[in-house]
């Protein structure tokens, strides 16, 4: 019986909506005020420009590799071809931490946004975590939302991306209204102070930016399901990053023009309050923006289920995780068991309350930049190791862009370390990182003992041979070295 494979069903619209929707998410609604108060209006914009430059350089390395090796798992494949099995597992397990943290983040963000739409709905006290009271209704909204999104992803990627496209339009409408309102009702005087807390403030916002831009890397994860020329995959990846950079800059600019620093300090949902004020104190318009925020939660939630489940699927197929996680559903062609694993983690997140938002952002952000660093290194190595590999989206300048991406990703990684102004919080955030590393070590060692390293390498080599092409063969036959 022939092995079941992913179906190639995604077009331009699907891919762009999947990546842009995943990147935008909910952060622009709930944390814009924090960015501005930490670094100032211009400081926050500068932080996102710098963070965006980092992500564009990293994205360029992804674009070349994704067009050359269009296999599910993305980073898993590139790092294996460049460095071997163990670095490949470390890279992929790090990105899975980032993906799972976003999925869990959205499960906490959903009940948070309901507080704006339905004030005082949180009832039924359960317990207190880090000063936050967890209630039955608050946690229940997050848990129900998590189950619903898991079901959407279970049903198939075409179904998921159709819903993502609709909600991406909702996000765009809300954002355009906010920017338009700020243009007519805002004032540049409100943007003072332009900079706040000096370099420490700037760095604090910069380390948040990887988490806000993560999402473009969902495209390589779903590469086997994209029905487009390989070069087009790279183009869409970079275009989605540029769109996200512009989006965040415009939102920060719009909010800082409308609200004064004191109004931001008093607001629970800065972007929604800015929208309401821009339209003469209209609560209805504030709710419109919140609906855009809910759209962002759903698009991001769906996108990272896609990315996380495909990364777990790829590891399982290679025998680096339990092989049952690498099974596709017979009807929907989705990695349903990997989706269920993520669903369990996501559904548990609301039980940790609102403080989990910050813990997940920071811990997941470290996993993301570590993975980005490893992909940049893989790009450099593969340029040397396999110079004749066909690269439909080939970057100019040899390995220069890879070196820039690697240095920038490494530099951002250092900002998470103890002693830095923006270090991870002890113990909560470091516990997440260490627990994830230990869990990965146990999974890897157990799987290697059960399935064998030789089996893993054989699978990876066969998968890569299935798609790799070479420039020195006129007909570009798929063939291994």
The structural domains of the chain, with segments of one domain joined by +, span 12-467
pLDDT for residue 140 is more than 80: yes
Average pLDDT over residues 333-340: 95
Cis peptide before 367 (omega within 30 of 0): no
Please state, for a pLDDT cut of 90, what percent of the chain lies above it: 69
Residue 259's Cβ-count burial label (10 Å; 0-12, 13-18, 19+) is buried
Cα–Cα distance for residue pair 408/52, rounded to 1 Å? 11
Q: What angle do CA 152, 155, 160 make, to 5 degrees?
A: 50
pLDDT for residue 1 is more than 60: no
* CATH superfamily of the domain spanning 12-467: Amino acid/polyamine transporter I (1.20.1740.10)
Query: Six-digit token pair at 270?
Result: 């800065």
Query: Six-digit token pair at 291?
Result: 């609906």
pLDDT tens, position by position, 91-138: 999 999 989 988 888 898 889 888 878 888 999 999 998 888 999 999
pLDDT for residue 237 is more than 60: yes
pLDDT for residue 355 is more than 90: no
Q: List phi, psi (to 5°) of 472.
A: -85, 10
Q: What is the pLDDT of residue 477?
A: 53
Average pLDDT over residues 256-285: 91
pLDDT for residue 481 is more than 70: no
């Amino acid at each position: 019986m022939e092995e079941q494979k992913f179906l190639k069903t995604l077009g331009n619209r699907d891919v762009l909506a999947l990546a842009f929707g995943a990147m935008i998410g909910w952060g622009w609604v709930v944390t814009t005020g924090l960015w501005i108060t930490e670094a100032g209006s211009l400081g926050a914009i500068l932080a996102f420009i710098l963070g965006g430059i980092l992500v564009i350089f990293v994205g360029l390395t992804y674009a070349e590799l994704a067009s050359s090796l269009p296999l599910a798992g993305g980073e898993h494949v590139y790092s294996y071809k460049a460095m071997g099995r163990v670095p490949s597992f470390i890279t992929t397990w790090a990105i899975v931490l980032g993906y799972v943290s976003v999925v869990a983040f959205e499960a906490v963000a959903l009940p948070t946004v309901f507080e704006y739409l339905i004030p005082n709905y949180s009832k039924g006290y359960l317990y207190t975590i880090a000063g936050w009271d967890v209630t039955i209704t608050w946690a229940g909204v997050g848990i129900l939302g998590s189950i619903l999104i898991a079901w959407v992803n279970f049903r198939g990627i075409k179904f998921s991306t159709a819903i993502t496209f609709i909600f991406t339009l909702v996000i765009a409408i809300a954002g355009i209204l906010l920017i338009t309102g700020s243009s007519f009702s805002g004032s540049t005087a409100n943007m003072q102070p332009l900079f706040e807390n000096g370099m420490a403030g700037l760095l604090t916002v910069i380390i948040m930016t990887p988490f806000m831009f993560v999402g473009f890397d969902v495209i390589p994860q779903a590469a086997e399901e994209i029905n487009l020329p390989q070069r087009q995959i790279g183009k869409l990846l970079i275009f989605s990053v540029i769109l996200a950079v512009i989006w965040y800059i415009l939102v920060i600019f719009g909010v800082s023009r409308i609200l004064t620093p004191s109004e931001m300090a008093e607001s629970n949902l800065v972007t929604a309050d800015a929208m309401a004020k821009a339209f003469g104190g209209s609560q209805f318009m504030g709710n419109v923006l919140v609906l855009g925020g809910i759209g962002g939660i759903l698009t991001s939630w769906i996108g990272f289920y896609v990315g996380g489940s495909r990364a777990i699927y790829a590891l399982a197929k290679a025998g680096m995780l339990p092989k049952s996680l690498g099974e596709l559903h017979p009807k929907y062609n989705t990695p349903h068991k990997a989706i269920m694993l993520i669903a369990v983690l996501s559904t548990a997140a609301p039980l940790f309350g609102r403080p989990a938002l910050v813990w997940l952002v920071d811990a997941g952000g470290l996993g993301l930049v570590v993975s980005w660093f490893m992909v940049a290194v893989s790009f450099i190595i593969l340029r040397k190791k396999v110079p004749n590999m066909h690269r439909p989206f080939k970057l100019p300048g040899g390995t220069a862009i890879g070196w820039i991406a690697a240095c920038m990703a490494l530099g951002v990684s250092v900002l998470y370390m103890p002693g830095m102004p923006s270090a991870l919080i002890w113990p909560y955030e470091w516990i997440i990182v260490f627990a994830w590393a230990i869990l990965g070590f146990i999974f890897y060692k157990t799987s290697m003992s059960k399935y064998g390293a030789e089996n893993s390498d054989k699978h990876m080599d066969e998968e890569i041979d299935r798609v790799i092409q070479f420039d020195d063969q006129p007909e570009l036959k798929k063939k291994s070295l």
